[in-house]
Structure 1
Amino acid sequence: MHRTHTCGELNITSVGLDVTLCGWVQKTRDLGAMTFVDIRDRYGITQLAFDTDDDADLRAQARNLGREFVIKVSGKVIERASKNLKIPTGEIEIKVSRLEVLNTAKLPPFLIEDETDGGDDLRMRYRYLDLRRNPVRNNLVLRHKMAQAVRRYLDEKGFLEVETPVLIKSTPEGARDFVVPSRMNPGEFYALPQSPQTFKQLLMVSGFDRYFQIVKCFRDEDLRADRQPEFTQIDCEMAFVEQEDVLEVFEGLIRYLFKEIKDLDLPSLPRMSYADAMRLYGSDKPDTRFGMSFVELNDLVKGQGFPVFDNAELVIGINAPGCASYTRKQLDALTDFVKRPQIGATGLIYLRYNEDGSLKSSVDKFYGPDQLAAWANAFGAQPGDLILLMAGVEEKVQKQLSELRLEMGNQLGLRDKNKFSALWVVDFPLLEWDEETARYHAMHHPFTSPKPEDIPLLDSKPGKVRANAYDMVINGTEVGGGSIRIFQRELQSLMFKHLGFSEEEAQRQFGFLLDAFTYGAPPHGGLAFGFDRLVSIFAGLDTIRDVIAFPKNNSGRDVMIDSPSKIAQEQLDELQLRLK
């Protein structure tokens, strides 16, 4: 071994040891009679001391070290005269007797320090340098610890880790596939898996009653802060279970992770129906760290000659506590916020409940004091509160007010990254109507089981059918979702029919699964956690990029290796592909 110790493990008990360290030069300080060098590896930083009186040549060598030089030093551990108690090694230093430069380095394009001067694009281009910084490295250490904890928990629960194929068959449901041409089968293509869904169901048919996999998945979809074209799932499936069994096991996993990783005792997760989540928060992934749940005012506001309310399908609002003092400029800014194209609202109505008990609204022309008092009473408002109202088509206005609620949560400091609120959202609709294709699509995927009591509605009221589906939500982010699966061929065929598949199409696309169901498929269900999202929540980050070693940017590009890229004509010819 080049080294006897790492740069983070020596302390006051190590004084007197002869040691050899290897690492990167963090910085040098020339103080006249002495030269000090900080050497860094992934474990920490240790100060090196070079004394002219002992070896002038060695000190001259130290003076010529540049940032990020890779060095090897040997010497004796001594007690520091000027201690730095902020770091584990801050009470000692190495009195160096030998220095070897293993490799020189160019000056990095940004500071490799906790607070760097490098922007996102520059850091992504030189990601291998960015990974040397403590915050990014610590995120990957956290990711490793969480992965190991997941494996421990699931192993103790009898789960087997099984790898499933990466080159699979493209399917028409879900997001767009990444496709891979086959040289040996010209004109035919593999797809990269969006999920191991059908394979894990086949494992249940095979008798592997408890499966999991920490697995790479791929979706060719538009990107945002919590999406990447390739991402990692904790993928799980169980046989001979009902919904409650699945929720119990994986609620246990999340509570185990919070205890193991953050030493937090997460309380039992409450359950909320999809219908209640939309009614109270306008979102199927509500952030329950704070209140401000929706209140419907249809009965109180309609019929008073105010066309915005009279013509609306739904009038709803939130109560922002302590915000009655908002200035006109602040209220205009909130109106501009909801009018942004991403939100699409036409306006915002407000009611101030002033500290003196008076009420002032932006629609005083249409509503008198008694009516405004009834509004305040409906919200349980107190003097000093601000009520914000929106109106429109139910589905749209719920989503618009949801965005405003989150914005108010941000402005009031209620979305604390160190506070965690988790819940299950259950009883999702089985199907959702798509205007573009003029047909129903599976809200989760076509293998989700309907509630048995709702199966008769498939023919008459398909939009009313509820699914045996569930999502886990933490701090307003969906971190995992799953369902009880269909396991009878007849019901799965019926589901395909309602999704617009002909019998021939269903057999061609999913015949292998339908056939497997005829060989004794057990009842089964499971879920998948978005591992990148989960780690980012534990790390207190808004983006998943910094918990992935080599992420893509918002355009789906790896700017470090310049990918995706064009390929040689010879490769295209081998694959019998022709570009337009």
Structure 2
Amino acid sequence: MRTHYCGQLSSQTIGQEVTLCGWAHRRRDHGGVIFIDLRDREGLAQVVCDPDRPEMFKVAESIRNEFCLKIVGKVRARPAGSTNANIASGEVEILCQNIEVLNPSVTPPFQLDDENLSENVRLQHRVLDLRRPQMQKNMMLRYKTAMAFRRYLDNAGFIDIETPMLTKSTPEGARDYLVPSRVNAGQFFALPQSPQLFKQLLMIAGFDRYYQITKCFRDEDLRADRQPEFTQVDIETSFLNEAEITGIMENLIRTVFKEAIDVDLPNPFPRISYSEAMQRYGSDKPDLRVTLELTEVTDAVKDVPFKVFANVANSENGRVAALRIPGGNSLTRGEIDAYASFVGIYGAKGLAYIKVNDVTQINESGLQSPIVKNLNEAALKAIIERTGAQSGDLIFFCADKAKVVNDALGALRIKIGHEKGFVNGSAWEPLWVVDFPMFEYDEENKRWAACHHPFTSPKDEHVGLLATDPGKCLAKAYDLAVNGWEMGGGSVRIHRADVQEQVFSALGIDEEEAKIKFGFLLDALKYGAPPHGGIAFGLDRIVTMMTGAESIRDVIAFPKTQRAQCLLTDAPSEVDEKQLRELHIRLRQKVEPQVKA
């Protein structure tokens, strides 16, 4: 039906007769000459309709936005001064010979070039939203990125194997989406949170190198970078150690970025331990574009009269950290108060500060702050020396449990860094974070929980700590962070049944519970399971970063809202009583229809 896409027209096609198919993006009547901007997935083309052909011109007069059209015409150069450098076909236009309306359109609910649409309107009319040039670009980039992953992995000997969508519920971590079984009354499948166990089984089965671009599901609270269903590039390989796996994966990401958006990432990526990342940046996915860093001062304030600092510094798991803001003396009291409110979001009870008026005077005449009089000279000297503060700087402090301090100052570092221009100018800053702790203590349930997942292998030298001191056990785990986002995470897995049983024991999972939940894995590990490990990359997040979009909803064709609803199809929705009976389900109370938002 067509000979060319609109975006393929250029000076090379001048003089050719072409047939185009697409939608009327805009129609303009210039006193006897009608211009139609025709749009398809590759771009726009300007079509000129002269009144010399009365039948064609009459059709052109009837055309409105979003009519689906077939246009036949001759490509010619645009008149001097009328080229459009913003579109691929901007040097040429089509002198129309014939127009066929393939399908008219009712008036759209919004203009496709309106940049101020509410997201709810866009999601409710997602089909039209997807016609917008930016969304077309986003989805095409998503395709290019996925294909770049596939090409690299195929060439590296990985094979694509599908794993089940209906599987066993193992409620460790996020909530499962449950699927009732009609033929097995009272029993449920779960949609996979990841293919983790199946890809390990594939390694035990001898497939050696596996990958899959697959949907995963988590029934959890949503944010800009989360969806109830999301896509990950899932990878597993055998007979490789941490360094070998991360080496292959690092080259994969460099290749994907080069092929998809022509970006040359650094070679090699820097590496940092989890412990150092938390100490310096307050985050295990630090944004290295921001030049500000946290400074440890816990030991320096243990003996100060200021009890807010001293009590925390002498408590178990307490931390007092500083964040130096070069030239921060210029911050107004209103800005400082706003930053104090901001850290409150992360549980911080306050944000102390010192303005360094004269760094040579380590006292109240050189340092301006309500807390200076309650800090001794030794503590003040240590703070100035460690932070490297100069006259005109400001130092923020946070004192609380280490997690609260890390979360609060880590977020404040990013906020001030980008607001005040403390960035290094680099567009992309990838970073491997390694040597994660195996476990973190769950205060609410009074037990150890896996930091990654319970199938992550401990460091060889730390296996003995599983029974004696799990909190000191480090994992063979690695995350790839880019610009403050976690791009992917993985680990070397446990391939010995006895070590897996020890990890379950440390997590408070007894032998009977382990057998019920993971018996198939424990049995498989006994049949000569090879050393293996892998990683999973979040495809949605990667494409979001590449496009610079504010939300992953802008790179997913049909996403859910933050309330896990699809406004286009009005899902989730009620089902009839017959369906419920077939599934052996009775609702405990009548469900009131919810307002979609």
The one-letter code matched in structure 1 to 2:437 is P
Structure 2: gaps of 5 or more residues = 314-318, 361-365, 589-597
The one-letter code matched in structure 2 to 1:188 is Q
Q: Indicate if the aligned counterparts of 1:359 and 1:373 stay in contact, CA closer than 8 A.
A: no
Range moving further from structure 2, 496-505 or 217-226: 496-505
User: What displacement does 1:47 show?
Assistant: 1.1
SS at match of 2:534: strand
User: What displacement does 1:474 show?
Assistant: 0.8
Do the aligned partners of residues 461 and 368 (structure 1) sit closer, same or farther apart at CA in structure 2, a change above 3 Å counting?
Answer: closer
Aligned match of 1:161? 160
Q: Indicate if the aligned counterparts of 2:70 and 2:101 stay in contact, CA closer than 8 A.
A: yes
SS at match of 2:324: strand
Matched, 1:295 2:298: no
Range moving further from structure 2, 460-469 or 219-228: 460-469
CA separation in 2, counterparts of 1:62 and 1:3?
19
User: What displacement does 1:373 show?
Assistant: 5.2
SS at match of 1:186: coil
CA separation in 1, counterparts of 2:425 and 2:147?
23
Q: Indicate if the aligned counterparts of 2:305 and 2:375 stay in contact, CA closer than 8 A.
A: no
CA separation in 1, counterparts of 2:9 and 2:432?
46
Matched, 1:491 2:496: no
User: What displacement does 1:366 show?
Assistant: 2.6
After TM superposition, the structure 1 = structure 2 runs for residues 345-494 of structure 1, keeping only pairs within 5 Å, are 345-354=348-357, 358-367=366-375, 372=380, 374-414=382-422, 419-494=427-502
Q: Indicate if the aligned counterparts of 1:359 and 1:369 stay in contact, CA closer than 8 A.
A: no
Residue by residue, what CA displacement relative to the aligned partner does 1:506-552 show, whole Å, maximum 9, x if unpaired? 11211111111121111111111111111111222232111111110
Residue by residue, what CA displacement relative to the aligned partner does 1:139-159 show, whole Å, maximum 9, x if unpaired? 111111111111111111111
Residue by residue, what CA displacement relative to the aligned partner does 1:240-289 show, whole Å, maximum 9, x if unpaired? 11111111111111111222223333221122111111122222111111
Aligned match of 1:35? 34
SS at match of 1:292: coil
CA separation in 2, counterparts of 1:476 and 1:300?
30
The one-letter code matched in structure 2 to 1:552 is K
TM normalised by structure 1 equals 0.95
Aligned match of 1:183? 182
SS at match of 1:399: helix
Do the aligned partners of residues 370 and 515 (structure 1) sit closer, same or farther apart at CA in structure 2, a change above 3 Å counting?
Answer: closer
Matched, 1:269 2:269: yes
User: What displacement does 1:299 show?
Assistant: 4.1
SS at match of 2:248: helix
CA separation in 2, counterparts of 1:564 and 1:180?
14
Matched, 1:60 2:58: yes
Range moving further from structure 2, 463-472 or 358-367: 358-367
Do the aligned partners of residues 6 and 416 (structure 1) sit closer, same or farther apart at CA in structure 2, a change above 3 Å counting?
Answer: farther
Q: Indicate if the aligned counterparts of 2:291 and 2:424 stay in contact, CA closer than 8 A.
A: no
Aligned match of 1:321? 326
Do the aligned partners of residues 186 and 116 (structure 1) sit closer, same or farther apart at CA in structure 2, a change above 3 Å counting?
Answer: same
Q: Indicate if the aligned counterparts of 2:287 and 2:482 stay in contact, CA closer than 8 A.
A: yes
User: What displacement does 1:83 show?
Assistant: 2.5
Aligned match of 2:316? none
User: What displacement does 1:382 show?
Assistant: 2.7
Do the aligned partners of residues 437 and 75 (structure 1) sit closer, same or farther apart at CA in structure 2, a change above 3 Å counting?
Answer: same
Aligned match of 1:307? 307
User: What displacement does 1:370 show?
Assistant: 8.1
Q: 1:70 aligns with which of 68, 71, 76?
A: 68
CA separation in 2, counterparts of 1:383 and 1:111?
54
User: What displacement does 1:415 show?
Assistant: 5.9
User: What displacement does 1:75 show?
Assistant: 1.9
SS at match of 1:311: helix
Q: Indicate if the aligned counterparts of 1:150 and 1:253 stay in contact, CA closer than 8 A.
A: yes
User: What displacement does 1:116 show?
Assistant: 2.5
Q: Indicate if the aligned counterparts of 2:168 and 2:189 stay in contact, CA closer than 8 A.
A: yes
Q: Indicate if the aligned counterparts of 1:488 and 1:518 stay in contact, CA closer than 8 A.
A: yes
The one-letter code matched in structure 1 to 2:557 is A
User: What displacement does 1:74 show?
Assistant: 1.3
Residue by residue, what CA displacement relative to the aligned partner does 1:469-515 show, whole Å, maximum 9, x if unpaired? 11111111111111111111111122222222222221121111111
Range moving further from structure 2, 70-79 or 357-366: 357-366
User: What displacement does 1:430 show?
Assistant: 1.0
Q: Indicate if the aligned counterparts of 2:204 and 2:525 stay in contact, CA closer than 8 A.
A: yes
User: What displacement does 1:190 show?
Assistant: 1.0
Do the aligned partners of residues 173 and 369 (structure 1) sit closer, same or farther apart at CA in structure 2, a change above 3 Å counting?
Answer: closer
Q: Indicate if the aligned counterparts of 1:110 and 1:116 stay in contact, CA closer than 8 A.
A: no
Q: Indicate if the aligned counterparts of 1:111 and 1:117 stay in contact, CA closer than 8 A.
A: no
SS at match of 1:519: coil
Do the aligned partners of residues 424 and 108 (structure 1) sit closer, same or farther apart at CA in structure 2, a change above 3 Å counting?
Answer: same
CA separation in 2, counterparts of 1:125 and 1:572?
28
CA separation in 1, counterparts of 2:486 and 2:44?
38
Do the aligned partners of residues 371 and 575 (structure 1) sit closer, same or farther apart at CA in structure 2, a change above 3 Å counting?
Answer: closer
Q: Indicate if the aligned counterparts of 1:359 and 1:372 stay in contact, CA closer than 8 A.
A: no
CA separation in 2, counterparts of 1:7 and 1:504?
64
CA separation in 2, counterparts of 1:384 and 1:444?
43
Matched, 1:542 2:542: no
CA separation in 2, counterparts of 1:91 and 1:290?
41
Do the aligned partners of residues 220 and 547 (structure 1) sit closer, same or farther apart at CA in structure 2, a change above 3 Å counting?
Answer: same
CA separation in 1, counterparts of 2:56 and 2:123?
37
The one-letter code matched in structure 2 to 1:559 is L
Do the aligned partners of residues 416 and 100 (structure 1) sit closer, same or farther apart at CA in structure 2, a change above 3 Å counting?
Answer: farther
Q: Indicate if the aligned counterparts of 2:77 and 2:91 stay in contact, CA closer than 8 A.
A: yes
User: What displacement does 1:293 show?
Assistant: 1.6
User: What displacement does 1:436 show?
Assistant: 2.1
Q: Indicate if the aligned counterparts of 2:290 and 2:418 stay in contact, CA closer than 8 A.
A: no
Aligned match of 1:569? 577
> How many residues end up aligned between the 2 structures?
575
The one-letter code matched in structure 2 to 1:90 is G
The one-letter code matched in structure 2 to 1:351 is I
CA separation in 2, counterparts of 1:296 and 1:250?
33
Aligned match of 2:106? 106
Aligned-residue CA RMSD (Å): 1.9
Structure 1: gaps of 5 or more residues = none
The one-letter code matched in structure 2 to 1:498 is A
User: What displacement does 1:455 show?
Assistant: 1.6
Do the aligned partners of residues 369 and 36 (structure 1) sit closer, same or farther apart at CA in structure 2, a change above 3 Å counting?
Answer: same
The one-letter code matched in structure 2 to 1:128 is V
User: What displacement does 1:213 show?
Assistant: 0.6
The one-letter code matched in structure 1 to 2:356 is Y
Q: Indicate if the aligned counterparts of 2:225 and 2:552 stay in contact, CA closer than 8 A.
A: yes
The one-letter code matched in structure 2 to 1:10 is L
Aligned match of 2:595? none
Aligned match of 1:208? 207
CA separation in 1, counterparts of 2:30 and 2:149?
50
Do the aligned partners of residues 163 and 371 (structure 1) sit closer, same or farther apart at CA in structure 2, a change above 3 Å counting?
Answer: closer
User: What displacement does 1:579 show?
Assistant: 1.1
CA separation in 2, counterparts of 1:461 and 1:440?
11
Identity over aligned residues, as a percent? 49
Aligned match of 2:560? 552
Aligned match of 1:170? 169
CA separation in 2, counterparts of 1:442 and 1:302?
32
SS at match of 1:145: helix
